[in-house]
Amino acid sequence: MMLVTDAMPPVGSDNPSFVLKGETITVRDGVCQTADGTLAGSALDMATAVRNTVNMVGVPYDEAARMASTYPAAFLGLGATHGHIAAGFRADFVVLDETQHVAETWIGGVRVHTA
């Protein structure tokens, strides 16, 4: 099993709305919705998906991390270069703090964000 998210533009942004195909979509209570309340995508980021999997489902943290990295990389045929923190692999990863929130983001071995 792997974790996925179809996070829409407001995720990671201070702006709670965006336009999709001419329609304004707004995040309400963590859900992307049209003006009439129709579901229009997810506001779930991957760190929250991992946290939920650990805290709500009871999956061990190391397995939840593989579900968010190793398994999707293998599914996409990228298992030889992505999905692990090891020599020879592309260093795209996040560092989580003690509350399982993103503290740092690394892309290609370069730290690009610190919370």
Residue 83 CA to residue 14 CA, distance in Å, equals: 29
Domain residue spans in the chain?
A: 46-114
The reported pLDDT for the residue numbered 68 is 96
Q: Is 6 one of the catalytic residues?
A: yes
Give the active site residue among 6, 14, 29, 92. 6
Whether the per-residue pLDDT at 29 is higher than 90: the answer is: no
| Backbone phi, psi, residue 110, to 5° | -115, 130
Query: pLDDT (tens digit, 9 = 90+) per residue, 34-86?
Result: 999 999 988 899 999 999 999 999 999 999 999 999 999 999 999 999 999 99
What is the residue whose two structure tokens read 């190391």?
A: 62
Q: Which amino acid is at 81?
A: T
Instruction: Give me the mean pLDDT over the 23-29 stretch.
Output: 91
The reported pLDDT for the residue numbered 14 is 86
The reported pLDDT for the residue numbered 82 is 96
pTM, rounded to two decimals: 0.81
What DSSP state is assigned to residue 9?
A: T
